[in-house]
Amino acid sequence: MEGLVALLFGLVALWFTLWLFILLPARMAEARGRSAIGWVIVSLFFSPILAVLLLWMLGDAPDRNA
């Protein structure tokens, strides 16, 4: 039973990590007309919190409204 709980906990931790480092910055970047791959790289090399905050502060890409 402990093995099953540990496996479930590990899967939840893995999902949360993937969401935080890859899915969240990629979706935010795409929604703002920016490069998802570039922002995922920023998230991986620096910090996902930094990437999310920068995306939030920068807003939409300048050429998106044109």
Indicate the pLDDT class of residue 1, thresholds 50, 70 and 90.
confident
How wide is the angle at C-alpha 31 spanned by C-alphas 29 and 36, nearest 5°?
A: 30
CA–chain centroid gap for 42, Å, is 10
List pLDDT tens digits, range 31-47. 999 999 999 999 999 99
Is pTM beyond 0.85? Reply is: no
Which amino acid, one-letter code, is at 43?
Answer: S
Residues above pLDDT 70, as percent of the chain: 95
Predicted local confidence at residue 32, as pLDDT: 94
